[in-house]
Amino acid sequence: MKQNNETSHTKSLSPQQKLDEALKLYYTARELKRAGLKLLYPDLDNEKIEKKITEIFLSAKS
């Protein structure tokens, strides 16, 4: 079975590089969620948005 480029690229990364990539994805997901919440709830202040993001990510399931 032939692997795609992303899979073979990931296998060639060191554990630290894999962790760095995972953290980038995590923070990008939080930024996207923040932007979406600001569109949905323009009257919420930043503190309430951050609290909502934390609640969402804590209750997330894979």
Domain boundaries, the chain: 5-58
Other CB atoms within a 10 A radius of the CB of residue 28 amount to 10
Q: Report how far residue 21's alpha carbon sits from residue 56's, in angstroms, rounded to the nearest whole number.
A: 21
Per-residue pLDDT tens listing for the chain (62 residues): 455 666 778 889 999 999 999 999 999 999 999 999 999 999 999 999 999 999 999 998 87
pLDDT score at 1: 47
Residue at token pair 């690229």: 9
Predicted TM-score (pTM) of the model is 0.76
